[in-house]
């Protein structure tokens, strides 16, 4: 991640005096951290709303269904169901595909309602009482009525990460009972397909229109793959793995198509993130770049931080430096091109502004890019005209994006055969 100081166009950020115990001094009212809303207050307000519902050692509710597999201590990790303190249609609490357009506060409220039961087991131990119940949850088509007894009252905290959606209070499991509902036939078929590779099962489920978030859950619980190789996969890892598997499969398909015949620019704004997706009439390559403003989740500096990663026609062999958002963005773009039966060079430019006060998971990238690509794009005949339009839509100067973009720099320097023929 590179840090840049802007001296013009209002980009230099006023330096705030560094003090110890900044939150104690600020008390959520003086904006000393630079964020538009105090993330501590956001979490506190959510706690106040649901605390009376979860202030007990027993939870009786309908799991969305939802399961969380931790990663700390791998290969011996904490696993368990996520259960809200009420029954009914709770599917929306763990279905990010339905969250687009919701505020950060609403998303935190959804997730804080889910109490996480925890039991520590080895990821290779796929048989056992808790494992069997987690499988039943993962197989279910609809929310599953569940009763959980904890060893102590749930801890009032919310877990945040850049990959996984937030999760709420947690407590060690003493006992768990579930009342399974009808299994989803697609998941059931993949589960009994013990001679399928996990990647084959993941892509088959995707082709059968199972939401990506549900495929990630099934993958995490260890329902997919060659039977003797099955294991639990930490939730954070499963999210990126599934995005990667599906997008790689789609990219292999779109490489067989003709390229688009004009430059396309898509745009979107959500959760104080500004997005540009630029599609260029060249063979497949992909780059995702993001600029974090001061006061956002991952940037404590006083200057804007820019990072990114890319791949050429033959893909990449190392993990992207910007993490899971690289793969979720690639998935959304590959979906669009597969539907169009075209290929293109794709560049995502993302400005993360101070209103993005806490991470909500990489589903945000996938769904925001998906929605951007549902809109009619602006179309241009040249790269220069497309970039001129992009420059008007982003706050950071275009020269800075170009300086830090491998693909844009190469495209502006390279000439194609058509350039010499014209």
Q: pLDDT for 53-74, tens place per residue? A: 567 889 999 999 999 999 999 9
Residue 414: per-residue pLDDT: 73
Mean pLDDT of all residues in 412-421: 58
Instruction: List the one residue out of 278, 405, 297, 400 whose CA is nearest residue 352.
Output: 297
Q: How far apart are CA 238 and CA 253, in angstroms?
A: 23
Instruction: List the one residue out of 167, 256, 246, 176 whose CA is nearest residue 212.
Output: 246
Residue 10: per-residue pLDDT: 39
What residue spans define the domains of the chain? Answer: 34-183, 263-421
Residue 166: per-residue pLDDT: 74
Residue 38: per-residue pLDDT: 72
Q: How many CB atoms are closer than 10 A to CB 252?
A: 12
Q: What is the pLDDT of residues 204-216, one digit of tens each?
A: 999 999 999 999 9
Beta bridge partners of 146: 61, 178
Do the Cβ atoms of 332 and 138 come closer than 8 Å?
A: no
Q: How far apart are CA 332 and CA 320, in angstroms?
A: 16
Tokens of 368: 């925001």
Do the Cβ atoms of 83 and 54 come closer than 8 Å?
A: no
Q: How far apart are CA 12 and CA 10, in angstroms?
A: 6
Do the Cβ atoms of 303 and 294 come closer than 8 Å?
A: yes
Q: Which residue has the tokens 């056992």?
A: 128
Instruction: List the one residue out of 11, 44, 1 whose CA is nearest residue 353.
Output: 11
**In sequence order, what are the residues at sequence separation of 6 or more whose Cβ sits closer than 8 angstroms to the Cβ of residue 375?**
266, 267, 268
- The H or E element containing residue 80 is strand 76-83
Q: How far apart are CA 238 and CA 215, in angstroms?
A: 9
Residue 379: per-residue pLDDT: 98
Q: Which residue has the tokens 């519902």?
A: 53
- Torsions phi, psi of 59, nearest 5? -125, 130
Mean pLDDT of all residues in 4-12: 44
Do the Cβ atoms of 345 and 285 come closer than 8 Å?
A: yes
Tokens of 284: 């497949």
Residue 283: per-residue pLDDT: 97
Beta bridge partners of 67: 81
The model carries a pTM of: 0.87
Residue 12: per-residue pLDDT: 39
Q: Which residue has the tokens 């990959």?
A: 163
Dihedral of CA atoms 320, 241, 74, 68 in degrees, nearest 10, equals 120
Q: Which residue has the tokens 């407590």?
A: 171
């Amino acid at each position: 991640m590179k840090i840049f100081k802007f001296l013009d166009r209002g980009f230099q950020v006023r330096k705030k005096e560094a003090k110890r115990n900044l939150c104690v001094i600020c008390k959520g009212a003086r904006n000393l951290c630079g964020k538009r809303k105090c993330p501590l207050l956001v979490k506190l307000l959510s706690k106040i709303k649901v605390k009376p519902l979860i202030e007990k050692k027993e939870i009786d509710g309908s799991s969305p269904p939802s399961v969380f597999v931790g990663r700390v201590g791998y290969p011996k990790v904490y696993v368990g169901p996520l259960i809200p303190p009420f029954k009914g249609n709770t599917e929306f609490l763990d279905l990010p595909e339905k969250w687009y357009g919701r505020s950060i506060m609403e998303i935190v409220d959804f997730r804080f309602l889910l109490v996480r039961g925890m039991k520590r087991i080895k990821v290779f131990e796929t048989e056992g009482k808790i494992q069997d119940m987690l499988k039943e949850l993962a197989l279910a088509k609809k929310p599953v009525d569940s009763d959980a007894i904890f060893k102590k009252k749930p801890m009032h905290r919310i877990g945040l990460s850049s990959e996984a959606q937030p999760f709420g209070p947690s407590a060690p499991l003493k006992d768990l009972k579930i009342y399974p509902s009808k299994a989803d036939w697609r998941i059931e078929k993949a589960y009994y397909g013990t001679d399928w590779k996990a990647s084959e099962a993941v892509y088959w489920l995707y082709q059968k229109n199972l939401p990506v978030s549900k495929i990630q859950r099934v993958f995490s619980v260890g329902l997919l793959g060659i039977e003797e190789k099955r294991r639990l996969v930490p939730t954070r890892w499963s999210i990126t793995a599934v995005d990667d598997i599906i997008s790689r499969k789609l990219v292999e398909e779109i490489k067989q198509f003709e390229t688009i015949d004009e430059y396309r620019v898509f745009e979107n704004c959500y959760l104080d993130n500004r997005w540009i997706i630029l599609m260029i009439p060249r063979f497949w390559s992909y780059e995702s770049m993001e600029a974090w403003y001061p006061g956002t989740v991952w940037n404590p500096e006083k200057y804007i931080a820019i990072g990114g990663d890319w791949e050429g026609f033959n893909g990449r062999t190392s993990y992207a430096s910007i993490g899971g958002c690289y793969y979720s963005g690639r998935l959304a773009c590959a979906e669009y091109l597969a539907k169009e039966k075209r290929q293109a060079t794709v560049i995502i430019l993302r400005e993360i502004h101070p209103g993005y006060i806490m991470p909500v998971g990489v589903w945000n990238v996938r769904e925001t890019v998906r929605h951007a690509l549902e809109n009619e794009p602006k179309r241009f005949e040249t790269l220069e005209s497309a970039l001129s339009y992009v420059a008007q839509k982003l706050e950071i100067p275009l020269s800075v994006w170009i300086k830090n973009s491998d693909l844009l720099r190469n495209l502006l320097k390279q000439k194609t055969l058509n350039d010499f023929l014209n």
